[in-house]
Amino acid sequence: MNAMKKGVDVSVILCAYNEGNVIEETIDRVDRVLLGNGWNYEIIVVDDGSLDDTKERAISYRDRNGGSYLKILSYHKNSGKGNAVKAGFEEAEGDFIVVIDSDLDVDPNHIPRYVEALKSSDIAVASKWHSESHASMMLKRKVLSFGFNILSKLFTGIKLDDTQTGLKAFRRRVLERMIPKIVVKRYAFDLELMAACNHCGFRIISLPVDIHVGSIIGLKEILRMSLDLFRVAYRLRILKHYQRG
């Protein structure tokens, strides 16, 4: 396992909600990927108010494997991905921060390429629509994702083809500047963060990804994301909220 030394190169934040059935496998796979690259790293599991045994299984993994590199955060009320990323970042010590969903929809083997990309950019973002990507999802989900991306470009001016896929890597200074400005806690958190970063001049690169999306978005989630999109556009274009300071 990771032998800790002074300074952390890479911090990986795993946002988890009711992932008790896969969280140990996720930690193990991420750990093996990071270990194989010779970095000094840490893995931060943020249990976002899970109703199952996500927290207990993460702790069990840490205790069995002597994981001093593994931090586990937990709170009782589910507050959304945005809040989970903020909580994880407050504990992160790395020069490079990777945020990845813990449901294994995205292959953790991509992480090294994304961190490597930060040598010439500020942010590396996974895109389902990249020509080299392999994405498996239901037609309904694909149509909704494509439509949301079109609306995102129209209302925020962002040029990215995909803001929602669950793998992103950041230089630390990006999140230090932008996290305090982010308002959305749930469905459109990724869009808000990417739109804000785009308008503040950070260099963003889209990279291919292997992803299998099994979950289905309901009408309630679609409406919330749409409302959040309009609010982000208002803060961006009218209030100039993200560009201040």
Give residue 219's pLDDT band: very low, low, confident or very high (50, 70, 90). Answer: low
Residue 6 vs residue 107, higher pLDDT: 107
Q: What is the pLDDT of residue 5?
A: 45
Q: Quick check: is 49 in a domain?
A: yes
Burial 164-180 (b: 16+ CB within 10 A, else e): bbbbbbbbbebbeebbe
Q: Quick check: is 44 in a domain?
A: yes
Give residue 216's pLDDT band: very low, low, confident or very high (50, 70, 90). Answer: low
Q: What is the pLDDT of residues 60-91, one digit of tens each?
A: 999 999 778 999 999 999 999 999 999 999 99
139 Cβ neighbours under 8 A, 6+ residues apart: none
Q: What is the pLDDT of residue 143?
A: 84
Q: Which residues pair with 210 in a beta bridge?
A: 134
Mean pLDDT of 90-113: 96
- Range in 83-87, 209-213, 214-218 the model is least confident about: 214-218
17: closest CA among 41, 43, 53, 42? Answer: 53
- The CATH number linked to 167 is 3.90.550.10
Q: What is the pLDDT of residues 229-243, one digit of tens each?
A: 999 999 999 999 998
- Residue 104 belongs to what domain range? 10-237
What is the average pLDDT score of the chain? 91
Q: Quick check: is 207 in a domain?
A: yes
Q: Quick check: is 205 in a domain?
A: yes
Q: How many domains does the chain have?
A: 1
Q: Quick check: is 4 in a domain?
A: no
Q: Would you say 103 and 19 are in contact if contact means Cβ atoms under 8 Å apart?
A: yes
- Range in 56-60, 116-120, 203-207, 211-215 the model is least confident about: 211-215
Q: Which residues pair with 136 in a beta bridge?
A: 212
Q: Quick check: is 161 in a domain?
A: yes
Q: Quick check: is 5 in a domain?
A: no
Q: Quick check: is 91 in a domain?
A: yes
Mean pLDDT of 153-172: 94
Please name the helix (run of DSSP H) or strand (run of DSSP E) that holds residue 70, with its range, or none. strand 70-75
